[in-house]
Chain A
Amino acid sequence: MAKRVALTGNEAVALAMKQINPDVIAAYPITPQTDVVQYFSSFVSDGQVSTELVRVESEHSAMSATIGASAAGARSMTATSSQGLALMHEMLHIASSYRLPIVMPVVNRALSGPINIHCDHSDSMNARDTGWLHLYCENTQEAYDNTFIAMRIAEHPEVLTPVMVCYDGFIISHALENLMIEDDELIHKFVGEYNPSRFLLDLERPYTVGPLALYDYYFEIKRQQAEVMFHAKDVVAAVSAEYGKLTGRNYGFFETYKLDDAELGIIVIGSTAGTARGAVDQLRAKGIKAGLLKLRMFRPVPREEIIAEIGHLKALAVLDRADSYGGFGGPLFSEVRSWLYGADAQPPVVNFVYGLGGRDVVIPDIITVYQYLDKLARKQVPLELVQYLGVRE
Chain B
Amino acid sequence: MSATGKGWRDLPRGAVIEDAGNAREYLTGDWRTERPVWDEEKCINCFFCWVYCPDAAIIVKDGKVRGVDYAHCKGCGICAAECPKRVQAFTMVKEADAAAAEAKAKAEAAEKGGCC
Q: Are B5 and A217 in contact (CB under 8 A)?
A: yes
* A–B pairs, 15, beta carbons within 8 Å: A97-B15, A160-B13, A207-B16, A207-B18, A207-B19, A208-B22, A215-B2, A216-B2, A216-B5, A217-B11, A219-B8, A221-B11, A224-B8, A224-B13, A227-B8
Hey, which chain B residues are within 8 Å of A206, CB to CB? 20
Please tell me if the beta carbons of A208 and B20 are within 8 angstroms of each other in the complex.
yes
Given that A207-B17, A211-B17 are contacting pairs, would A220 and B22 also be in contact in the complex, using a CB cutoff of 8 Å?
no
Q: Is the CB of B17 within 8 A of A208?
A: yes
Complex: how many Å from CA A223 to CA B7?
10
Question: A206-B20, A216-B5, A220-B6 given as contacts; is B14 within 8 A of A97 (CB)?
Answer: yes
Contact status of A221 and B20, CB under 8 A, knowing A97-B15, A99-B13, A215-B2: no
Whether A209 pairs with B14 at a CB distance below 8 angstroms is yes
For residues 205 through 256 of chain A, which have their beta carbon under 8 Å from a beta carbon of chain B? 206-211, 213, 215-217, 219-221, 223-224, 227
Q: Residues of A contacting B6 with CB < 8 Å?
A: 220
Q: A217-B5, A221-B8, A223-B8 are in contact. Are A211 and B15 (CB under 8 A)?
A: yes
Give the chain B neighbours of A220 by CB distance below 8 A. Answer: 5-8, 11
Are B5 and A207 in contact (CB-based, < 8 A)? no
Residues on B with beta carbons closer than 8 Å to the beta carbon of A208: 16-17, 20, 22
Residues of A within 8 A of B7 (CB): 220
Q: How many inter-chain residue pairs (CB < 8 Å) link A and B?
A: 51
A83 CB to nearest B CB, Å: 28
Cα A265 to Cα B89 in complex, Å, equals 79
Is the Cβ of A213 less than 8 Å from the Cβ of B15? yes
Neighbouring B residues of A209 by C-beta, 8 Å: 14, 16
- For the complex, what is the distance from the CA of A198 to the CA of B22, rounded to whole Å? 17
How many Å lie between the Cα of A210 and that of B16 in the bound state? Answer: 7
Q: Which 3 A-B pairs have the closest CB atoms?
A: A99-B14, A208-B17, A220-B8
The dominant DSSP class at the B interface is loop
Name which residue of chain A comes closest to B4, CB basis.
Answer: A216
For B8, what are the chain A residues with a Cβ–Cβ distance below 8 Å?
A: 219-221, 223-224, 227
CB-CB contacts below 8 Å: A146-180 with B: 160
Query: Is the C-beta of A98 less than 8 angstroms from some C-beta in chain B?
Result: yes
**Min CB–CB distance B24 → chain A (angstroms):** 13
Closest to A224 in B: B8
With contacts A223-B8, A224-B8, A227-B8 taken as known, whether A217 is within 8 angstroms of B15 at the C-beta atoms is yes
Which of B5, B11, B16, B17 has the most C-beta atoms of chain A within 10 angstroms of its own C-beta? Answer: B16
With A216-B2, A223-B8 as contacts: A207 and B14 at CB distance below 8 Å: no
Contacts of A213 in B (CB 8 A): 15
Bound Cα distance from A98 to B12, whole angstroms: 11
- Inter-chain CA distance A207–B16, complex, in Å, is 7
How many whole Å from A317's CB to the nearest CB in chain B? 39
Min CB distance B22 to A, Å, is: 7
Residues of chain A with a CB closer than 8 A to B17's CB:
207-208, 211
Give complex CA distance A391, B18 in Å.
55
Q: Select one of A100, A207, A210 contacting B20, CB under 8 A.
A: A207
Tell me, in angstroms, the Cα distance from A206 to B19 when the chains sit together: 7
Least CB separation from A160: chain B residue = B13
| Max chain B C-beta neighbours (<10 A), residue from A198, A208, A211, A227 | A208
Q: How far is the CA of A100 from the CA of B16 in the complex (A)?
A: 12
Among A98, A160, A207, A224, contact of B11 (Cβ-Cβ < 8 Å):
A224
Within 8 Å CB of B13, what residues of A?
99, 160, 224
- In the bound complex, what is the Cα–Cα distance between A198 and B13 (angstroms)? 11
Interfacial chain B residues near A98, Cβ < 8 Å: 14-16
Most chain B CB atoms below 10 A, which of A98, A206, A209, A224: A224
Q: Which of A38-78 contact B (CB under 8 A)?
A: none
A221 surroundings in chain B (CB, below 8 A): 8, 11, 14-15
Q: How far is the CA of A210 from the CA of B5 in the complex (A)?
A: 19
Task: Provide the residues of chain A in CB contact with B16, threshold 8 Å.
Answer: 98, 198, 207-209, 211
The smallest beta-carbon distance between A357 and chain B, in angstroms, is 37
Scan residues 4-53 of chain B and give those whose CB is less than 8 A from a CB of chain A.
5-8, 11, 13-20, 22
Residue of A nearest to B11 (CB): A220
Give the Cβ gap from A326 to chain B, nearest Cβ, in Å.
33
In the docked arrangement, what's the CA distance between A224 and B15, Å?
10
